[in-house]
Structure 1
Amino acid sequence: MTINLMDVVGRISYKCDILFRVIDIRTENGNKIAILYGEDFRLIADAPYKDLIVIDQSTRNERSREFRSLEEQSYRLFQQEMNLLREKQEYDSTDGYKKKINYFQLPGRVLHIDGDPSYLRKCLDLYEKIGIPVTGIHCSEKEMPNKIHQQIEYYRPDILVITGHDAYSKSKGEIGDINAYRHSKYFVQTVREARRMIPNLDQLVIFAGACQSHFESLIHAGANFASSPSRINIHALDPVYIVAKISFTPFMERINVWDVLRNTLTGEKGLGGIETKGILRTGMPFNVEKE
């Protein structure tokens, strides 16, 4: 069976547990190797060409329905939480509904830098659906450390997302060795560069990492939230749910880490962080009519 670029495949040796898209095919030491990007997880992998099989459309559709169901469930839970948060804010802003006040809200502005253009589009669609002001930029993971200064200086975000693809390779070193990870060191360098510009953890909130990323190094570098504490795969949309919670929490309130993680698709094994202040600011009046 011929396998071409952009085909959706599974690894036979792994019983096709994860669907991948072929992004490159190369020859190493006389053997054909395929470079793979996860279809639903932020995972990069390489595999022998002969270990791959093209996944038929019916199987892809079935897998897709399963993931869309999980995404819809997570979105519903998130919407319920946001509705309760808005009701609380309205109660506080109107002095317990005693005063009729027209107010407006300014959620956190997001700069999302992603190593995968396809995942970036999915995330931007969800940001728009939730109502978060966002700028999305596609940039390869290796180039991120060199470009982050210019992007922060130009866009002045409240929240920075640094993500793409990553993977831990046992053959390259122990789990604590950052050189055993595909892109973790570039994410860490990018976070450090961002923190040189804005050291305050509440002035710029940072999410960094992808599948199996070196969580501890990212947190120590200055990220508020990161992946992956248990070195598991994270879902493509998980960063958006973390950002949304931060963006719509009032800046006078601190966010419990579990409150941020509970509506993600991956949970605390794939995501973690530190206590962080919210970003949302409420103002008034809104839509004042001229006499």
Structure 2
Amino acid sequence: MSISIMDIVGRASYQCDIMFRVIDIREQDGRKYAILYGEDIRLIADAPLEDLIAISPSTREKLANQFHSLEEQSLELFRQDVELLKQKQEYGATDGYSKAFNYFQIPGRVLHLDGDPTYLEKCLALYEKIGVPVTGIHCKEKEMPLKIGHLLDYYRPDILVITGHDSYSKAKGKKSDLNAYRHSRQFVQTVNEARRKVPHLDQLVIFAGACQSHFESIIQAGANFASSPYRVNIHALDPVYIVSKISFTPFMERINVWDVLRNTLTGEKGIGGIETKGVLRTGMPYNSEHNSES
């Protein structure tokens, strides 16, 4: 069976452990190679066509259901966290429930740059489920450093997500060598440019990175959270869980890093970060009459 662009495939040499989407086919030294994007994890890879096996619709559905089950578990845990945060805010804003619920809340606004339009759509759907105000922009990783300054000026977000696809290649160098990574350098450059605009770590919270990204360089550039400390693959939706927790945490509270990581699908091997303040703000009074008229 011939392999074509947009086919869903697995790599025989890796026992088809990951589902990939074929995004391009190139020829080198008389041999054809496919450029692959992970379907559920933020990994980019290449492989000779003869190593690829087309994934049947039934197998695709089975694997997709497994991932969906994990996503639902993470979402339910996250909703529990948000509910606890909400109850804590209600208790404080109503002086121990002795006063009426006469307040409103403004969660942190997210600007999400993603190198993969399919992943971006999945992330935006999850942001909407959770209730996070977000602007999503598809932007190729190599263009991100050039565009981030203008985008920050225009959208003025509280939280910035810089993600897409990445991978580490042992053939290109050691894990400490930034040149051995597909897009880590672009993520680092984009974070650097963002910090030129907003230097303070609590005025703009940044998540950056993808599968196997050079975690240490991204953190040193100024990200609050990044992937991947152990150079493992991360799930497509993990950035959403990270920044949504920050969006719904009051700005007077500091976020324990483990509290942010524990409900992600990847955990601390795939994502790490530094102590960071929340960005949610509470105000009053809340005028229900005016709100219902609008």
The corresponding residue for 2:133 is 133
Query: In the alignment, what sits opposite 1:29?
Result: 29
Q: Which residue of 2 aligns with 1:152?
A: 152
- Map Cα deviations across residues 164-200 of structure 1 (whole Å, 9 max, x no partner): 0000000000000000000000000000000011000
2:288 and 2:136 map into 1 onto residues whose CA distance is: 33
Mapped to 2, the partners of 1:174 and 1:67 lie a distance apart of 31
2:230 aligns with: 230
- Name 1:14's counterpart in structure 2: 14
In structure 2, how many angstroms separate the alpha carbons of the residues matched to 1:127 and 1:284?
Answer: 25
3-state DSSP class of the match of 1:218? Answer: helix
- Correspondence for 2:65: 65
Q: Unaligned regions of 5+ residues in structure 2, if any?
A: none
| Pairing 1:1-291 to 2, within 5 Å after superposition | 1-287=1-287, 289=289
Distance in structure 1 (CA, Å) of the matches to 2:201 and 2:84: 26
Deviation of the 1:289 alpha carbon = 4.2
Q: Offset at 1:288?
A: 5.1
- Cα distance in 2 for partners of 1:283, 1:256 equals 24
TM-score, normalising length: structure 1:
0.99
Q: Is 2:166–2:182's contact at 8 Å kept on the other side of the alignment?
A: yes
Give the percent of matched residue pairs that are identical in Structure 1 and Structure 2.
Answer: 75
3-state SS in 2 of match to 1:10: strand
TM-score using structure 2 length: 0.98
- What residue ranges of structure 1 are gaps of 5+ in the alignment? none
Deviation, 1:267, is: 0.3
Q: Distance in 2 between matches of 1:29 and 1:194?
A: 40
Secondary structure in structure 1 of the residue aligned to 2:162: strand
Alignment coverage as a number of residue pairs: 290
Runs (4+) off by over 4 Å: none
Q: Aligned partners of 1:278 and 1:205: how far apart in 2?
A: 9
Q: Is the 8 A contact 1:101 1:285 kept in 2?
A: no
Cα distance in 1 between the residues matched to 2:288 and 2:232: 51
One-letter code of the match for 2:238?
Answer: D
Displacement of 1:101 in angstroms is: 3.3
Query: Are the counterparts in 2 of residues 111 and 157 from structure 1 also a CA contact under 8 Å?
Result: yes
Answer yes or no: is the 8 Å Cα contact 2:90–2:101 preserved in 1. Answer: no
The letter for the 1-side match of 2:54 is: V
- CA contact 1:111–1:161 (8 Å) conserved in 2: yes
> Once the two structures are superposed, what CA deviation does each residue of 1:205-225 show, in whole Å capped at 9, x if it has no partner?
000000000000000000000
- CA offset digits 1:232-270 (Å, max 9, x no partner): 000000000000110000000000000000000000000
Q: Supply the distance in 1 between the matched residues of 2:200 and 2:229 (Cα, whole angstroms).
A: 23
For 1:101 and 1:212, locate their aligned partners in 2 and report how far apart those are by CA, in whole Å.
45
How far 1:102 sits from its partner (Å)? 1.4
Distance across 2 between alignment mates of 1:270 and 1:67: 17
Residue aligned with 1:50, SS: helix
- Deviation track 1:62-114 (CA, whole Å, cap 9, x = no partner) reads 00010000000000001111111111110111000001131110000000000
Find the aligned partners of 2:249 and 2:221 in 1 and give their Cα distance: 24
